[in-house]
Amino acid sequence: MKIFLTGGTGFIGSHFINHAIKMGHEVTSLRRTDSKPRLILKSQPTWIEGSMDGSYDGIFKDIEVFVHLAAHSVNYPYDSLENCMYWNLNAPLRLAKQAVEQGVKRFVIAGSCFEYGKSAERFPELNVNSPLEPDNNYSISKAASSVAFLGLAYQLGLKLSLLRIFQVYGAGEHESRLWPSLKKAAREGADFCMTSGEQVRDFISVENTVELLLKDLGGGGVDGSYPVVKHVATGIPQRTIDFANYWWKEWGATGKIIAGALPYRDKEMMRIISSSESIF
């Protein structure tokens, strides 16, 4: 399959390229001139130099599926709402419209579990019909993007899958996040300071995440209908402290995990879990 990819140098995108090319797909990926992949790529895709708000006549010729993984300001502290809206909504929508004009009909769009925001406090498990109540600049812009892409699909009759990704972790993840920070401390024999770790998350490895993304390239709803919303998740609730203890033991760490040494982040989301019925 001939794939056009955004976010190919990112955490999930780098894994996606390695897996997709290994499976025999042809990948064309957009990247900024100063952007380097988060992982060593075993094979290179066809790179298109530029940004998402550029004009790209002819590059979508023969492309069978447009996969959008790029995301702006994923990690705290978040960029301004104006910048998040531009890069998570306006720019990718403009790029997707160019693809439509050049004949692309199939789209796989990566969303975020954090689009659900405050509704996660009321629902022990989230399904694809749970209300979107985002409460930070990143999640607001991603929720707006989801609504816009779904609306575009209905309007133009596109075959579109919106895949909301839950707590993904693994090699190539930003060093400020839990899993790589924990791994660094374990390898150095240092203690690891964290919050009390009572946050409940739906942790999914980046390898499993990419497997589900690739599985959906020719997907659709149960009845083959479009557009469709699905969750990239496990449906298994896990406390952050339990996740940390598992990996600490797995890596044979000699230091100690000091739970409660750090305060929770302002407006910390304490639970966000997918219902099993929303996972494919």
Q: Does 211 reside within a domain?
A: yes
pLDDT of res. 76: 87
Q: 266 pLDDT band (50/70/90 cuts)?
A: confident
Average pLDDT for residues 215-236, to the nearest whole number?
A: 84
Q: Residue 94 belongs to a domain with what CATH number?
A: 3.40.50.720
Tell me: do 116 and 130 sit in the same domain: yes
pLDDT digits (tens, 9 = 90+) for 97-132: 999 999 999 999 999 999 999 999 999 999 999 999
Tell me: do 210 and 193 sit in the same domain: no
pLDDT of res. 93: 98
Q: Residue 256 belongs to a domain with what CATH number?
A: 3.90.25.10
Q: Does 108 reside within a domain?
A: yes
Tell me: do 160 and 242 sit in the same domain: no
For 62-66, 230-234, 266-270, which range has the lowest pLDDT when averaged over its residues? 266-270
Q: Does 280 reside within a domain?
A: no
pLDDT of res. 221: 59
User: For the chain, what is the mean pLDDT?
Assistant: 95
Tell me: do 80 and 211 sit in the same domain: yes
Work out the percent of the chain whose per-residue pLDDT is above 90.
Answer: 92
Work out the percent of the chain whose per-residue pLDDT is above 70.
Answer: 98
pLDDT of res. 139: 97
| Number of separate domains in the chain | 2
pLDDT of res. 220: 60
Structural domain of 196: 170-201+236-275
Has residue 158 got a pLDDT over 90?
A: yes
Tell me: do 22 and 139 sit in the same domain: yes
pLDDT of res. 24: 97
pLDDT of res. 42: 92
Q: 223 pLDDT band (50/70/90 cuts)?
A: low
Q: 149 pLDDT band (50/70/90 cuts)?
A: very high
Tell me: do 186 and 77 sit in the same domain: no
Average pLDDT for residues 30-49, to the nearest whole number?
A: 94
DSSP per residue, the chain: -EEEEESTTSHHHHHHHHHHHHTT-EEEEEE-TT---SS--SS--EEEES-TTS--TTTTTT--EEEE---S--SSSP--HHHHHIIIIIHHHHHHHHHHHTT--EEEEEEEGGGGBGGGGT-SSB-TTSPPB--SHHHHHHHHHHHHHHHHHHHHT-EEEEEEE-EEE-TT--TTSHHHHHHHHHHHT--EEE-----EE-EEEHHHHHHHHHHGGG--STTS-SSEEEEES----EEHHHHHHHHHHHTT--S-EEETSSPPPTT---EE-B-GGGB-
Average pLDDT for residues 169-191, to the nearest whole number?
A: 97
pLDDT of res. 74: 94
Q: Does 126 reside within a domain?
A: yes
Q: 26 pLDDT band (50/70/90 cuts)?
A: very high
pLDDT digits (tens, 9 = 90+) for 73-90: 999 899 999 999 999 999
pLDDT of res. 224: 67
Tell me: do 213 and 271 sit in the same domain: no
Tell me: do 100 and 163 sit in the same domain: yes
